[in-house]
Amino acid sequence: MAAAVVAAAVIIFFMMKAQPAASAIVEHTFTVSQMDMTHLCKEVLTTVVNGQLPGPAIEVTEGDFVVANVVNKSPYNITIHWHGVKQRLNCWADGVPMLTQLPILPNNNFTYRFHVSGQEGTLWWHAHVPCLRATLHGALIIRPRLGAESYPFPKPHKEIPIIIGEWWEADLQDVDRQLRFLLPDSVPEFYFTASTINGKLGDLYNCSGVHEDGFVLEVELGKTYLLRIAGHTFTVVAADANYIKPYTTNIITVSPGETVDALVVADAPPGRYYMVAKPNQAPLPEFQNPEHVTRGMVLYSNNHSSGNNGAASVSSFRADGGGSTTSGDMPMTPEMPDEHDSITSFYFHGNLTNLHHAPHLQVPMRTVCRHGRQFCTRMASPEDKVLSTMNNISFQLPMVETSLLEKHYYNSSDMYTFQVLPDRPPMAFNYTDETLIPLGPKEAQLEPTSQATVVRRFRYGTTVEVVFQNTALMSSDSNPMHLHGHNMFVLAQGIGTYNATRDVERYNLVDPPVRNTVQVPRLGWAAIRFVTDNPGIWYIHCHYEFHLTMGMTAIFIVENGPTVDTSLPPPPPRSDFLDNPVLRESYAET
Ligand SMILES: *[C@@H]1O[C@H](CO)[C@@H](O)[C@H](O)[C@H]1NC(C)=O
Ligand SMILES: *[C@@H]1O[C@H](CO)[C@@H](O)[C@H](O)[C@H]1NC(C)=O
Ligand SMILES: *[C@@H]1O[C@H](CO)[C@@H](O)[C@H](O)[C@H]1NC(C)=O
Ligand SMILES: *[C@@H]1O[C@H](CO)[C@@H](O)[C@H](O)[C@H]1NC(C)=O
Ligand SMILES: *[C@@H]1O[C@H](CO)[C@@H](O)[C@H](O)[C@H]1NC(C)=O
Ligand SMILES: *[C@@H]1O[C@H](CO)[C@@H](O)[C@H](O)[C@H]1NC(C)=O
Ligand SMILES: *[C@@H]1O[C@H](CO)[C@@H](O)[C@H](O)[C@H]1NC(C)=O
Ligand SMILES: *[C@@H]1O[C@H](CO)[C@@H](O)[C@H](O)[C@H]1NC(C)=O
Ligand SMILES: CC(=O)N[C@H]1CO[C@H](CO)[C@@H](O)[C@@H]1O
């Protein structure tokens, strides 16, 4: 429904050097402001970074240090989250409002400082304030220190970023307000207007017959390109900035929050090829959104007149090199899968394995916590609203004058007053019973829930296992669950209800993919493990903006370890905060 911005990637040619490059400080100024953008004959006041949509790409070499000064010239409170950056011992720069910092107020600025180390590939950055991430986002590209020669796959000719996003005509703050007070049985009156590839709507959209521009990717015959999502057949080589065993497919699926790096060989008959991105949604009888497909073009340079047009697609859901025919001079539109086909995504995710073995997974788990997800409420009162939950609690951001991270750092007793995320759903039922789907009396009994700021504390160095179980309550969407500050080993996924006795045997403890976002399949489950090696306060949430807004969120607190190297350092220099009067006050108190 909201802001399904998904993926990102690289531009520029590789450097040839094999010598390790020295670490650099990469500086950016991000000016957040509003400007009018026109699509489909309509001017829309849009909040953007540096006047661009998508925003500027941050390109670094592994080991670099990023200094990003965010200058807020918009009327909104803003924070920027560096999605997937581990931020080890640097929770202060994670960019979650109220948790790790107070928001950057209008006409104020804030400087984020962080190392990018131990990760290579594509990540992205986005605003972490409700709904504005639809227009405040960009790629974050991490190249290997030893240069492109050190990629664990053939060196590509060129790297091209592809960001699949949405164009909204609706006021995003208004969308946020509506989401917070969504009445049961009401049909939301907001939806994005078009899907986009790199900010372009493409020629499937027109206003009075005038078509929108589409993204054009120029390729040369025989060359290999590194796309983070792309056309022709793909060899997927990384996901969420972690290398995976090369996996060749004509299907790429990405959920909000996920990134994929894929190689494409320009080996088709030279010509023009459409690339298509198509959103996916739960089938009837669930609420149906208008289906917004977008397309761009792959263009072989200097071979335009070949006439041998083929079809390829780039998709948030499927890329299919075949199955199409052409007529005349028109490039072909590939056959796309059904908008309700969720099994293709299930298989895509099931086929990803880590390039490397995962040694520390042999450690037996010490803490188990299971999350039933998305139990929603429909209480018999006019104040009813729709919520999403984890283990039957819907998360509420506390309104605080000092960030929770700072309270945690000073071991404020406030931090012990929050509700604890329970180990498992309080009431067992057949979570994936499809007969719950048409909302009715059977389902309504399971709806009541509560709201709270929910936290879960972990000792440093614990291996935590979480089983995310999707349910059939209210809507049976898939759920991309994103964990801040840590990567997760994805051990297994399944359709139906998780059964420990049966499903533990399916765990991949040898080469599980490492992700910051795990796609929990519709009416299914996913099991992950992570090690609490990063002290601080970390968000765990569904990356669908509207699920996040409605409370499918919790906080994981990772306590300090025994040494300086395993403890959260003090807050960053006060100068970073001095422009924010609220923060200035809170500092004055300490
Ligand atoms: C912005 O944040 C400040 C301080 O945290 C808060 O008082 C104010 O209401 C917020 N403004 C908006 C528009 O949310
Ligand atoms: C940040 O704010 C301070 C104080 O208002 C100002 O002096 C400084 O120039 C600002 N920085 C930028 C990059 O705008
Ligand atoms: C313009 O868009 C409308 C609605 O999306 C569509 O019905 C129509 O065929 C399009 N016109 C052209 C010339 O593509
Ligand atoms: C991999 O994908 C194929 C279909 O492309 C599917 O048949 C197979 O089950 C998938 N493997 C896993 C482990 O999900
Ligand atoms: C932090 O506060 C809690 C509760 O107030 C207390 O039990 C604990 O010992 C404190 N920890 C430290 C390291 O001071
Ligand atoms: C749960 O519901 C599913 C789908 O309706 C059904 O196939 C399954 O048998 C049910 N399981 C139990 C234990 O009742
Ligand atoms: C969820 O919590 C509410 C109270 O907050 C309780 O009434 C309800 O029975 C719980 N439902 C489930 C399915 O656990
Ligand atoms: C879980 O799986 C085991 C082993 O296949 C089976 O014996 C048991 O009945 C299953 N439990 C449920 C609740 O389905
Ligand atoms: C510039 C370029 O890529 N030209 C190619 C066009 O296609 C023919 C054969 O398909 C190639 O031989 C050219 O090199």
Tens of pLDDT, residues 469-507 = 998 887 788 999 999 999 999 999 999 999 989 999 999
The least confident of 171-185, 315-329, 403-417, 430-444 is 315-329
Q: What is the mean pLDDT of residues 6-12?
A: 28
pLDDT at 242 over 60: yes
- pLDDT digits 0-9 by tens, 25-83: 999 999 999 999 999 999 999 999 999 999 999 999 999 999 999 999 999 999 999 99
- Residue recorded with tokens 């991000």: 30
pLDDT at 446 over 70: yes
Q: How many residues does the chain have?
A: 590
Nearest CA to ligand 2 atom 7: 579
Query: Which residues lie closer than 8 Å to 200 by C-beta, 6 or more apart?
Result: 212, 213, 214, 215, 294, 296
Residue scoring higher pLDDT (583 or 388): 388
User: Which atom of ligand 9 has the smallest separation from the CA of 302?
Assistant: 1
Which ligand is located closest to the Cα atom of residue 32?
A: 2
pTM above 0.85, yes or no: yes
Q: Residue 431 Cα, ligand 6 centroid: separation in angstroms?
A: 9
Highest-confidence segment of 380-384, 394-398, 443-447 = 394-398
Q: Residue 549 Cα, ligand 1 centroid: separation in angstroms?
A: 16
> Which pLDDT score, from 0 to 100, does residue 178 have?
82
Residue scoring higher pLDDT (188 or 563): 563
The three-state (H, E, C) secondary structure of 535-574, written as one string: CEEEEEEECCHHHHHCCCEEEEEECCCCCHHHCCCCCCCH
Residues 410-443, buried b or exposed e (16+ Cβ, 10 A)?
A: eeeeebeebeebbeebeeebebbbeebbebeeeb
**Amino acid identity, position 17:** K
Of the pLDDT bands very low, low, confident and very high (cuts 50, 70, 90), residue 407 is very high
Residue scoring higher pLDDT (234 or 94): 94
Q: How far apart are CA 366 and CA 363, in angstroms?
A: 9
> Which pLDDT score, from 0 to 100, does residue 309 have?
35
Going along the chain from its start, the domains and CATH numbers come out as 21-148 (2.60.40.420), 151-302 (2.60.40.420), 393-559 (2.60.40.420)
User: Which atom of ligand 4 has the smallest separation from the CA of 349?
Assistant: 14
Q: What is the mean pLDDT of residues 392-415?
A: 92
User: Which atom of ligand 5 has the smallest separation from the CA of 413?
Assistant: 5
Q: What is the mean pLDDT of residues 443-454?
A: 87
Q: Alpha carbon 65 to chain centroid distance?
A: 23
- pLDDT digits 0-9 by tens, 88-123: 999 999 999 999 999 999 999 999 999 999 999 999
pLDDT at 228 over 60: no
- Cα Rg of the chain, angstroms: 23
Does ligand 5 have an atom closer than 6 angstroms to the CB of 411? yes
Q: Residue 554 Cα, ligand 7 centroid: separation in angstroms?
A: 17
> Which pLDDT score, from 0 to 100, does residue 76 have?
97
Q: Residue 417 Cα, ligand 5 centroid: separation in angstroms?
A: 13
User: Which atom of ligand 9 has the smallest separation from the CA of 303?
Assistant: 6
Pick from 160, 171, 110, 162: which is nearest to 135 by CA? 171
